[in-house]
A and B are shown apart, each in its own frame.
Chain A
Amino acid sequence: MAKTLTRSGTSSGLGVDAAVARQLLGDMLLIRRFEEKAAEAYALGKIGGFLHLYIGEEAVAVGTTSMLRPDDYAISAYREHGHCLAKGSDPKRVMAELFGRRDGLSKGKGGSMHLFDKGTNFLGGHAIVGAHLPIAVGVGFAIKYRGGDQVIVCYFGDGAVPEGEFHEAMNLAALWKLPVLFLCENNRYAMGTSTDRALAQTEIWKFAETYGVPGERVDGMDVLAIRDAVGRAVARARTEKTPSLIEADTYRFRGHSMRDPAGAVYRTREEVEREKLRDPIVLFREKVVSAGVLSEADARAVEKDVNDRIDEAVAYADASPEPPGEWLFTDIYKES
């Protein structure tokens, strides 16, 4: 993962060749299977605390990351398994973190909500809604300060938009012209609160106008549409240091967390079933197979490979020992 996938000439009209299609499909499937296994492990008590699944939203992380370079940065909230995996983290170490084991990305100290991977420039895993938006602006500040041409993608939910930090961050990034891509994953709910009960302006992309930066809304279930929108925003950020706001129209198929049943009071079962028809993985698979970019056998091979990697990840996490007791007191400060 985390290779820049560029458009390449194909006769399919989809704008992706077989290699890119294989990668996009594989990356989305990897996240899906990873989380299905995580849900099983949660039921078995191997994972504790809060576990927020990204199932249904995979196209956003995968489409976005496919337009980044490995040295670009990404930062996210607590529903971040997908963003972290897409950025290139080893599923084995991510699963070990969820299990609270010593080989986890954060040595078992962070858990599901606090994935960090310095090796892939993935900056977390933040569980206080809105907190990481100004942090993303700080990363943009540092990029510009050092004269680099990287970008930072900041993923956040519709629920962060009413927080002051969203507005402070947008204004600062716009005012100082920083290479930040604000990527709002609008899945229509913040826990049980629908956007129309939380926002005076429910068309989130329009906040971009207020701050004088480009903004657009994109179908968050269409990985190719996301690649287009993100591609434009990343180009602007790299060359002109212009921040952008993209609102991806997406949907979470599961409950808010494992503690919230999927068909809870705030949405109907029919709505959830209807949205599942937009499953980004199913749609993309159909699209590439029917366009002849991938054969049915190719797609099956991708699936098989993903299943093997996830089985390996679970086995690895299971085998990894608990962190030693002394680690309670390490990493509180950086020892230099």
Chain B
Amino acid sequence: MAVMTYRDALNMALREEMRRDGRVFLIGEEIGLYDGAYKVTQGLLKEFGPQRVVDTPIAESGFTGVGIGAAMVGLRPVVEMMTFNFALLALDQIVNSAAKMCYMSGGQFNVPIVIRGPGGPAAQLAAQHSQSMETYFYHVPGLKVVRPTTPMDAKGLLKAAIRDDNPVIFIESETLYHVKGEVPEDPEFLIPLGKALVRREGTDVTVIAYMGMMYRAMEAAEDLEKEGISVELVDPRTLRPMDTETIINSVRKTHRCVVVEAGAGFAGMGSEIGAFVTEQAFDDLDAPVERVTGANAPMPYARNLEKLKTPSKDRIVAAIRRVCNVNGS
């Protein structure tokens, strides 16, 4: 194990997979000469050269299509979206081409592509540059969607995504790049897609969260421990396919469920989790599933409004108390 940042863990995953497999190449804006807008690809141009670290003009739909074409005939592209906000320009290629190619061709052409980059709320970047993007993708059959919370997950999941034979949407976070954690140095360390993780065991309530919201939920759990509420934290890690089994098992144990997500709540991740928990574990629930979500509003620029947009620790604590039927102090 080594202690490193989330950013360096991603860099390590890319480097290892490029060393392992000559078909893996990187393509995107500012990833080579500039070493990455957020420095995730630092040093890779130097090691692998311009054939495998391809700087592009600003043409997201174009270079995503290029990645899909290359993947159809045997390469394994990793496309960087400088931020996922710009993936919307490539949404047609991702949804109508990458996601459906295998199905439309009756299994003849699969698209082993990873589309990665930072997404989600970021400091005062306002409506067009600060938004949770996963909902746009996890609705689509044929795509896999990953949101890695820790440096270890960042490495293990990215490597698994690159080795996966299907299109994987891999959304990192600008606000987590500097976070440090333990990361296995083993080049064969992989975390399978579609497996959730219980990050903290507890007995009174299951809280489901990922990315920045997991860190916030962790703080809430520690606060509540002092009041005698025992919180179990489950991180789905892969949003599609979702590991419903781990979540259901946890809810069967705790009988209560709270979902925390940064994005706008309407038709969000919490809606889906709330639905399958109700369908599969209705008799085990002692309270309705609660959602703590981002406000149903675009992201404002002003700092004070921005704070109100994303779930706070206090809101998470309050929701947990509500489902546990405990009044706040």
Contact = CB atoms under 8 A, between A and B. Distances in A.
Interface string A122-142: 000011111000000000000
Contacts of B29: 191, 193
Given A113-B129, A192-B30, A328-B309, A108 B301 contact: yes
B30 A164 contact: no
Contact of A128 (B89, B302, B303): B89
A326 to B, nearest CB: 10
Question: For this complex, into which size category does the number of interface residues on chain A fall?
Answer: 35 or more
Contact of A193 (B30, B61, B304): B30
Interface in B68-105: 85-86, 88-89
Interface in B17-49: 29-30, 33-35, 37
A151 to B, nearest CB: 26
Given A162-B57, A163-B58, A127 B33 contact: no
Contacts of B198: none
Interface string B54-65: 010111111000
Given A191-B37, A192-B30, A198 B304 contact: no
Contacts, number: 123
Contacts of A265: 33-35
B305 A160 contact: no
Contacts of B303: 48, 100, 322
Contact of B304 (A129, A159, A325, A332): A325
A48 B124 contact: yes
Interface string B122-142: 011111110000000000000
A157 to B, nearest CB: 9
B323 interface: no
A130 B126 contact: no
A109 B309 CA distance: 12
Contacts of A199: 57
B173 to A, nearest CB: 16
Given A113-B129, A193-B29, A325 B89 contact: no
A199 B300 CA distance: 35
A321 to B, nearest CB: 10
Interface residues of B, number: 36
A176 interface: no
A128 B60 CA distance: 11
A192 B59 CA distance: 15
Residue of B30, B33, B86, B305 ringed by the most chain A CB atoms within 10 A: B305
A119 interface: no
B279 to A, nearest CB: 31
A334 interface: no
A87 interface: no
Contact of A164 (B59, B86, B296, B298): B59
A323 B125 contact: no
Interface string B230-241: 000000000000
B295 interface: yes
Contacts of A190: 57-58
B308 interface: yes
Nearest to B60: A163
A323 B305 contact: yes
B297 interface: yes
A150 to B, nearest CB: 27
B58 A160 contact: yes
B122 to A, nearest CB: 8
B297 A328 contact: yes
Contact of A266 (B34, B129, B296, B304): B34
A49 interface: yes
A327 B126 contact: no
B58 A159 contact: yes
Interface of A: 48-50, 100-101, 106, 108-111, 113-114, 126-130, 159-160, 162-164, 190-193, 197-199, 264-266, 322-323, 325, 327-329, 332
- List the 6 closest A-B pairs by CB distance, nearest first: A111-B301, A162-B57, A48-B124, A49-B124, A100-B302, A198-B57
17 contacts: A48-B123, A106-B301, A108-B302, A109-B126, A109-B127, A109-B305, A111-B301, A128-B89, A130-B58, A130-B89, A162-B62, A163-B58, A190-B57, A191-B34, A193-B34, A266-B33, A322-B302
Interface of B: 29-30, 33-35, 37, 55, 57-62, 85-86, 88-89, 123-129, 295-298, 300-305, 308-309
